[in-house]
């Protein structure tokens, strides 16, 4: 069943993330664009996704790949025009694909007109729209707080007054080119409500809210304690913002969804964002960061579902995105968890093992209750590119770590579509520039063209799994029940007949009695499920659940 006509589509949708710089380049400048996306929309419809989320496409100096927005109501010329975005939205809707855009409310670009006006004079009223503050010490030369950026490094930069003397400092939780808005100011609130209307009026079906838990700050600017509540993450005041956004979204027909990027360790605090009058959904970073380990995954799934149930929000299942090491690479490492703190170069990865596990993880994440996300290239089995020449790296996270952290470029390499050599159809043959990040020569086997029609490929596995998910409404929102199996195996039922089994043990396990084998992530040996393999089965009825003893 497609979710196209369902106003509650966001509860069970399969959402594909497009990173516009790296999806498809129609004009040959080596950077993806909206025209390239429009040419490839049929691929997404064919893949069977319900919705497409676009990472930021607005005018931006690109200090943080577009997450530094200088105009929220237009399209960066490198990507195209506003008219093209409108046509893209219409094209997507014709193909029954919903459109989700990325709104960045915590901060803008330092090139944003408000910030430029604020910098121009200490008396400018625009100063109030940001966090300008005198420094500490007699000459104000010490930053107002020692808050550390999630990007690493300082969160304050000192300004220079028009007369050349050192001035106040401004807050930027991310890079210095990303000044934080002051959400206590009514003009900031009104501006963003207007921006939301601007895009919802253009037919956008959902908003992904960047850094959603960071908008409110403690105005007393206390230091961040090593443990306990942060003065800039997850303050209670943030909820009123989302309540007003929800009222706004609810005024539109057809089910417009608000989806938060909420990285919080506390499940209760996380669920607070999903109360019925706040956001519709939020990304599940616990699942993304979880080890490839049956007990850890079972606990994560249980905790996730338990946290969402009281607020009646759908869980989301995310394996990769534009900020994290691709999961083919993660799952091939000895330590299969993800955390920014542990993201370091030179950690060996067995990509064959990682790919086998990623295939099993696809069947797992696509059959859990709720909505699921696919990050572009995941369906091609792309791995993290770890050997990008230093001089080509662009991510501020890399530079701000003093080069210790490889940054996020390795998961942002342009997609391979076809052909035997780079640019693999990402750019046209007569392109004037190479892809903005170099593609590995080995991706010739991972192009969409090379995989199409090959039943053993990752692409065909995703296509088959998504087709089954669409045909089987019980696979979206709804209940699941665990089946009694050995500890290092996951087995659950999603409907009276549908069962998923994932073998995370080191030895083959027998399949439970079944009437039909719908799909498996790898070849089965007789009726045995090999290690790191998953299978979807139909059973005769609810009773025969336990696998036969081996």
Q: How far apart are CA 138 and CA 124, in angstroms?
A: 24
Strand (E) or helix (H) holding 245: helix 238-250
Nearer to ligand GLC, 179 or 522 (CB): 179
With beta carbons less than 8 A apart as the criterion, state whether 372 and 366 touch: yes
Nearer to ligand GLC, 17 or 27 (CB): 17
CB of 235 to ligand GLC, least distance (A): 17
CB of 210 to ligand GLC, least distance (A): 5
Is residue 147 a contact residue for ligand GLC (CB under 6 A)?
Answer: no
Is residue 373 a contact residue for ligand GLC (CB under 6 A)?
Answer: no
CB of 157 to ligand GLC, least distance (A): 16
Give how many residues touch ligand GLC by CB under 6 A.
9
**Considering Cα of 341, then 346, then 347, then 349, what sign does the dihedral take?**
positive
Is residue 211 a contact residue for ligand GLC (CB under 6 A)?
Answer: yes
Q: How far apart are CA 546 and CA 512, in angstroms?
A: 6
Q: How far apart are CA 363 and CA 518, in angstroms?
A: 11
CB of 76 to ligand GLC, least distance (A): 15
**In this structure, how many other beta carbons lie within 10 angstroms of the beta carbon of residue 440?**
17
Nearer to ligand GLC, 211 or 503 (CB): 211
Burial of 248 per CB tally in 10 Å (0-12, 13-18, 19+)? middle
CB of 340 to ligand GLC, least distance (A): 10
Nearer to ligand GLC, 33 or 210 (CB): 210
Nearer to ligand GLC, 102 or 472 (CB): 102
CB of 102 to ligand GLC, least distance (A): 8
**Tokens (6 digits) for 71:** 């105009």
Exposure string of 158-170, with b = 16+ CB inside 10 Å and e = fewer, is eeeeeeeeebbbb
CB of 208 to ligand GLC, least distance (A): 9
Of the candidates 223, 115, 108, 226, which has an alpha carbon nearest to the alpha carbon of residue 175?
Answer: 108
Nearer to ligand GLC, 262 or 480 (CB): 262
Is residue 405 a contact residue for ligand GLC (CB under 6 A)?
Answer: no
Q: How far apart are CA 323 and CA 506, in angstroms?
A: 31
Rule CB under 6 A: which of 410-469 touch ligand GLC? none
Nearer to ligand GLC, 261 or 379 (CB): 261
Q: What would the x/- binding string for ligand GLC be over residues 321 to 340, using CB under 6 A?
A: -xx-----------------
Beta bridge partners of 498: 538
Beta strands in 41-178 (DSSP E): 51-54, 98-103, 132-133, 156-160, 166-171
**Tokens (6 digits) for 49:** 């996704």
CB of 408 to ligand GLC, least distance (A): 7
Is residue 378 a contact residue for ligand GLC (CB under 6 A)?
Answer: no
Nearer to ligand GLC, 261 or 378 (CB): 261
Nearer to ligand GLC, 147 or 492 (CB): 147
Q: How far apart are CA 210 and CA 280, in angstroms?
A: 14
Beta bridge partners of 490: 502
Which of 104, 213, 300, 318 contacts ligand GLC by CB under 6 A? 104
Nearer to ligand GLC, 280 or 322 (CB): 322
Contacts 24+ apart (CB under 8 A), 131-135: 131/170, 131/171, 131/179, 131/180, 131/182, 131/217, 132/159, 132/168, 132/169, 132/170, 133/168, 133/169, 133/170, 133/171, 133/221, 134/168, 134/169, 135/168, 135/169
Residues 6+ away with beta carbon under 8 Å from 490: 294, 297, 298, 364, 482, 500, 501, 502, 504
With beta carbons less than 8 A apart as the criterion, state whether 515 and 529 touch: no
By beta-carbon distance, which residue lies closest to ligand GLC? 67
Which of 156, 174, 181, 183 contacts ligand GLC by CB under 6 A? 174
Q: What would the x/- binding string for ligand GLC be over residues 41 to 80, using CB under 6 A?
A: -----------------------x--x-------------
Q: How far apart are CA 118 and CA 124, in angstroms?
A: 5
Rule CB under 6 A: which of 232-261 touch ligand GLC? 261
Nearer to ligand GLC, 211 or 376 (CB): 211
Is residue 170 a contact residue for ligand GLC (CB under 6 A)?
Answer: no
Is residue 25 a contact residue for ligand GLC (CB under 6 A)?
Answer: no
What is the DSSP-derived secondary structure letter of residue 525?
Answer: B
Which residues contact ligand GLC (rule: CB under 6 A)?
Answer: 64, 67, 104, 174, 210-211, 261, 322-323
């Amino acid at each position: 069943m497609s979710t196209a006509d369902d106003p509650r589509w966001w509860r069970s949708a399969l959402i594909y993330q497009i990173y516009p710089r790296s999806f498809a380049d129609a004009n040959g400048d080596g950077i993806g664009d909206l025209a390239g996306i429009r040419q490839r929309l049929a691929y997404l419809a064919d893949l069977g996704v319900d919705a497409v989320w676009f990472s930021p496409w607005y005018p931006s100096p690109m200090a943080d790949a577009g997450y530094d927005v200088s105009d929220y109501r237009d399209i960066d010329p490198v990507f195209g025009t506003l008219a093209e975005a409108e046509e893209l939205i219409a094209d997507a809707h014709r193909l029954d694909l919903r459109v989700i855009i990325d709104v960045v409310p915590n901060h803008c670009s330092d090139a944003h007109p408000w910030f430029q006006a604020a910098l121009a004079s200490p008396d400018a009223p625009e100063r109030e729209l940001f966090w300008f503050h005198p420094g500490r010490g007699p000459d104000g030369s010490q930053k107002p707080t020692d808050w550390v950026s999630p990007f690493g490094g300082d969160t304050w930069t000192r300004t220079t007054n028009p007369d050349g003397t050192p001035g106040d400092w401004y807050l930027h939780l991310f890079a210095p080119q990303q000044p934080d808005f002051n959400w206590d100011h009514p003009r900031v609130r009104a501006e963003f409500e207007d921006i939301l209307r601007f895009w919802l009026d253009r037919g956008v079906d959902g908003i992904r809210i960047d850094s959603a838990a960071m908008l409110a700050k403690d105005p007393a600017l206390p230091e961040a304690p090593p443990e306990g509540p942060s003065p800039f993450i997850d303050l209670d005041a943030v909820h009123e913002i989302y309540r007003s956004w929800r009222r706004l979204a609810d005024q539109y027909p057809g089910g417009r969804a608000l989806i938060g990027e909420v990285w919080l360790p506390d499940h209760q605090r996380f669920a607070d964002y999903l109360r019925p009058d706040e956001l519709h959904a939020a990304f599940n970073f616990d699942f993304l960061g979880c080890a490839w380990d049956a007990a850890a995954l079972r606990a994560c799934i249980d905790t996730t579902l338990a946290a969402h149930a009281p607020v009646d929000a759908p869980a989301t299942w995310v394996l990769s995105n534009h900020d994290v090491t691709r999961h083919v690479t993660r799952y091939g490492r000895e330590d299969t968890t993800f955390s920014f703190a542990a993201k370091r170069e030179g950690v060996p990865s067995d990509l064959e093992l990682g790919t086998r596990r990623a295939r099993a993880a696809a069947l797992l994440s696509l059959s859990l209750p709720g909505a699921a996300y696919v990050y572009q290239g995941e369906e091609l089995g792309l791995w993290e590119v770890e050997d990008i020449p230093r001089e080509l790296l662009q991510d501020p996270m890399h530079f701000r770590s003093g080069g210790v952290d490889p940054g996020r470029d390795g998961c942002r390499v342009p997609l391979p579509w076809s052909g035997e050599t780079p640019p693999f159809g990402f750019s046209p043959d007569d392109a004037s520039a190479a892809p903005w990040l170099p593609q590995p020569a080995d991706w010739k086997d991972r192009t969409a063209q090379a995989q199409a029609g090959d039943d053993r490929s990752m692409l065909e596995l995703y296509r088959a799994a998504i087709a089954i998910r669409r045909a089987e409404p019980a696979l979206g929102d709804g209940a699941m029940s665990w089946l009694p199996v050995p500890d290092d195996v996951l087995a659950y039922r999603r409907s009276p007949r549908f069962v998923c089994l994932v073998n995370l043990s080191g030895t083959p396990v027998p399949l439970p009695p079944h009437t039909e084998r719908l799909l498996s992530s790898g070849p089965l040996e007789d009726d045995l499920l090999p290690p790191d393999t998953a299978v979807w089965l139909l059973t005769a009825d609810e009773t025969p659940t336990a696998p036969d003893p081996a």
